[in-house]
Structure 1
Amino acid sequence: MKTIHLTSLGCPKNLVDSELMLGQLVAAGLQPVTEPGEADVLLVNTCGFIQSAVEEGIDTILGLIEQKKSPAVRVVVCGCMVQRYGSSLVGELPEVDLFLGTEEVATIAPRLQALEHQPSGTGAADWVRYLPQAGTQRFLPDAKLPRQLTTPPHRVYLKVTEGCGNHCSYCMIPAIRGPLRSRRPADILHEARALAAAGVKELTLVAQDLTAYGLDLGPGGPRLPLLLKELHREVPQVPWIRLLYLYPTRVSDELLELVAAHPRILPYFDMPFQHVSDPVLKAMNRPYGEQLVRELVARVRRLVPRAVIRSTFMVGFPGEREEDVDRLASFLNDCRLEQVGMFIYCNEEGSAAATLPGQVSEELKEQRFQRLMALQSDISLAVNQARVGQVEEVLVEGVSGETELLLEGRGWFQAPEIDGCVYINEGNCRAGDLVRVLISEAHPYDLVGGIVSE
């Protein structure tokens, strides 16, 4: 086995795991290739968070199996889907040589090497249980593990915790990823310094709940504000430090004042509210209501005047009524969040929400989704129009995927692969450059402008 092709599905947190596995395999002598047909190993890191992600994972695996050029090619399937569905996948996907759960990220190289002299398609039959046994240590990223970055060299994700302790009724993450585990500050800072030395311009901290950082390390242990202070001091050459994601009840004044006082910590607040109706939030097992959400938005904007707020909302949750949707619409109209993601609720096998009464029809879910999306589109357009005539700092990604006649970048107020972008129609620059762009045109999700000299 000399070459490997990686397909990473799902969220940025999953991508970090993919890069750690790829790093170990590169250290073991495998060479990454971009085309599946050139690979001796086809590695797929799956998402298992929602059913649509599971379906995408199955389709991806089957597609790669069809592209195998030789019986000797190994197919390795890792990640959340494996952790969630376990041994049932072995019978459904006999062509897969190795399954690894989320706890086995650090074992991929020896596990794959053990397949070297077995016929292809037989490894799964000898599959060792992927679930962590009682008393064994769950996986947590470690700066000592080799990591092969797959993002553009100017931006990278840094995962600071694993697992989650919030237990929302619709979410399978605690069951899949386990309880909250926080990395020690020294380990995080060690990795951050190495990334900064490699020239990273945007360092994005990711966790299932970033504001829970350190809660498992004891009453006197580190917390997010302290980590950010040390990070800001240790990597002065990184111009953008971004935070994903912040749980609403844990966004403290200390955190907000820290962001306001340190311009390199971007005033971009991704706080997944999920809803604003008190009965719906209670059914979701989210420990807050509309009053807290409204007060939080006001507090963020008071303490951080440049703040951009992003949130996600779910429509069609069991028991949701028209008056609940009306409350959400009123909130969007009143608070006018800069960035919003809207999702249609879907029952997930094994979740508490799947058994709740008052299931909403698919037709009604779609109607509510379209109504709220149309409302937010108008709000987003107005927010973007207010930027016309302003000069914004933009991190250049490269030539636009839409047309070679434009460059593409992101303002500090746009997270990678989540929000819109800034199309650059004037000026010269390279991928990874930070440039000043005069915004000349606005759309609901994207902006257009030209580079201006200092």
Structure 2
Amino acid sequence: MSSIYVVSLGCNKNLVDTEVMLGRLEEGGHTFAHSPEKAEVIIINTCGFIAQAKQEGINTIFEMLQFKPSCRAVIATGCLSERYSRQLMEEIPELDGLMGVYQYSRINQCIQEALEGKRPVYTGGTPAYLDCFASKRKLATPQYMAYLKISEGCNNHCGYCAIPGIRGKYTARSFDSLINEAKMLKALGVKELNITAQDITVYKDGDKGLLELIKALDSLGFEWLRLLYAYPGRVSDELLEYMNNSESVCNYLDVPVQHVQDGLLRAMNRHYTQADITYLYNRIRSFNSGWGIRTTVMTGYPGETSRDFNSLLNYITIHPFDHLGAFVFSPEEDTPAYNMEHKVRASTAEVRLDGIMLRQGEISHSLNQERIGKRYRMLIEGRDEQSSQYFGRCFFQGPDVDGKTFLSADAFLRPGDMVNVVISDAFAYDLYAQLV
């Protein structure tokens, strides 16, 4: 058996795939190296969503290839491998093997064949592993938090998105398998369970939809349940009411709107309008619990005019989001937007992106200032060695993508502890707090 070093790139859904692979590797008798220098086999689980992610994957592959020959095999897996298998194997002859997104059950076989010099390539297939997570998954997150991927693939077919071509059509996991896995995660000590998928709102298993799933998960006793990747046009009032009244479901929603101009939304094949976005926004803000709302927007989509951009900028000013991520449109092969006319110059799209993020910094700072003096429950994630301050998150801060809350305290606290704090200071993305 071999010593394995695994690099996981991309989104939290890809991280879950990495954890599935780790479980398979452990079952196969392999051990794990803490650095690539000490590994016999290196696996890079790649992302292939946009140009920047693809470049990161390629750069990481070449970075890991530098550890050969002490490393006997370098294997690429994930979205980039699924999408560009032939090109990767032809253009990077040093690559020893390749595996797509639905072949993780064969990871041990792939390693063996790679070590034998066969350069295996496993792509295609169907998400047959979806109901096998509970017994074949090794967490790569801190013990106090985990992701629960409730489905695979996507049927939305947004004009810019290559995911349906990579991950295939939407396939929901069974209700029972999700509850069983959640129970397993709870037994491992997970306190924050983050519900994720390409689109969580479309979840359906028989007569059980997302609301029924959230209610069942809520009964298991997690400290926090968090909903990620909610499609703006499908968030029901019933779901929002339940979230607002639940003690453990975070008053936090991740709703990537992409844009607010109806013409661009139609061109993107997003099935909602600006009026729908505004209704959802106002509905959430009507609650008095300080909800955290995260969104994502895109600049430079074909046909976006300066007026469209200014409308987007004005919209987020009038309807401020607590957290906002933005990216420049990336033309992806085999998507409708790839061949669209009226393309926006990359330099123009970058300037617009900078404008969005500059405005969002002002918005986030203003909204965070409103939290000063208010009390919240804080999840401790660690301690900064230089400042000796603890850091973590409150319910309105999602993992990895949002800011942190810093805490000065003489008490001994461990990662995963939940403490009551009062916000004492606030900046654009981070907060400072004291124990109460």
TM-score, normalised via structure 2 length: 0.96
Q: CA RMSD in A?
A: 1.6
| CA distances 1:4-55 after superposition (whole Å, capped 9, x unpaired) | 1110000000000001101111111111121111111101100001111111
1:41–1:171 distance in 2 versus 1, CA, 3 Å: same
Moved more, 165-174 or 91-100: 91-100
Is the 2:134–2:184 contact (alpha carbons within 8 Å) kept by the matching residues of 1?
no
Quote the residue 2:75 is aligned against.
76
- Residue 158 of structure 1 is matched in structure 2 by 148
1:268 matched to 2:252? The reply is yes
Query: Secondary structure of 1:245's match?
Result: coil
Change (3 A) 1:297 1:213: same
Once the two structures are superposed, residues 212-262 of structure 1 have per-residue CA deviations (whole angstroms, 9 ceiling, x without a partner) of 111xx4xx43210011111112x21x1001111100111001111111221
- Any idea what the Cα deviations from partners look like across 1:396-440, whole Å, max 9, x if unmatched? 110237x35222111111111010001112332111111112211
Indicate if the aligned counterparts of 1:378 and 1:444 stay in contact, CA closer than 8 A.
yes
Query: Structure 2: how far apart are the matches of 1:260 and 1:439?
Result: 21
Contact persistence 2:45–2:77 (CA under 8 A): yes
Q: In structure 1, what is the equivalent of residue 269 of structure 2?
A: 285
Residue correspondences, number: 435
2-side partners of 1:369 and 1:128: how far apart? 38
2:159 to 150, 153, 169: 169
* Contact 1:396 1:431 (C-alpha < 8 Å) held by counterparts: yes
Give the aligned residue type for 2:18: S
2: CA distance between counterparts of 1:404 and 1:64? 33
Q: C-alpha displacement at 1:297, in angstroms?
A: 0.6
The residue identity in structure 2 corresponding to 1:196 is: K
- Cα distance in 1 for residues equivalent to 2:239 and 2:132: 25
Change (3 A) 1:176 1:141: farther
2:407 is aligned with 1:417: no
Instruction: Tell me how far apart the structure 2 counterparts of residues 231 and 257 of structure 1 sit (CA, whole Å).
Output: 16
Is 1:210 aligned with 2:205? Answer: no
Q: Cα deviation per residue 1:88-135 (whole Å; 9 max; x = unaligned)?
A: 21111222222000010122123323445x1xxx332xx345122xxx
* 1:13 and 2:9 are equivalent in the alignment: no
Normalising by the residue count of structure 1, what TM-score does the alignment of the two structures yield?
0.92
3-state secondary structure, aligned to 2:208: coil
Q: Residues 24-423 of structure 1 correspond to what in structure 2 (within 5 A)?
A: 24-70=24-70, 73-116=72-115, 118=116, 122-124=117-119, 127-132=120-125, 138-214=128-204, 217=205, 220-233=206-219, 235-236=220-221, 238-302=222-286, 305-400=289-384, 403-423=386-406
Change (3 A) 1:224 1:75: same
Contact 1:257/1:303 (8 A) holds in 2: no
CA distance in 2, matches of 1:357, 1:311: 27
Shift of 1:138: 4.8
CA distance in 2, matches of 1:387, 1:306: 8
> Is residue 281–residue 319 contact of structure 2 (8 Å, CA) maintained in 1?
yes
Gaps of 5+ in 1: none
In the superposition, relative to structure 1, how do residues 450 and 2 fare at CA in structure 2: closer, same or farther (>3 Å)?
same
Q: Structure 1, residues 138-188: CA drift from partner, whole Å, max 9, x if none? A: 552523442111111111111110000100000000000001111111101
Contact map agreement 1:394 1:409 (CA 8 A) in 2: yes
CA distance in 1, matches of 2:23, 2:144: 18
1:379 CA displacement: 0.9
In structure 2, C-alpha distance between the alignment counterparts of 1:261 and 1:330, rounded to whole Å:
32
Please give the alpha-carbon distance, in whole angstroms, between the structure 1 residues aligned to 2:84 and 2:399.
30
2:391–2:406: 8 Å Cα contact kept in structure 1?
yes
**Residues 315/141 of structure 1: CA separation in 2 closer, same or farther (3 Å cut):** farther
- Residues 188, 54 of structure 1: CA spacing in aligned structure 2 closer, same or farther, 3 A cutoff? same
SS at match of 2:4: strand
1:303 Cα shift? 5.2
Find the aligned partners of 1:166 and 1:277 in 2 and give their Cα distance: 19
Q: Percent identity?
A: 39
Letter in 2 for 1:286: R
Say if 2:146 and 2:190, in contact at 8 Å, map to a contact too.
Answer: yes
Is the contact between residue 37 and residue 68 of structure 1 (CA under 8 Å) also seen in structure 2?
no
Amino acid at match of 2:227: L
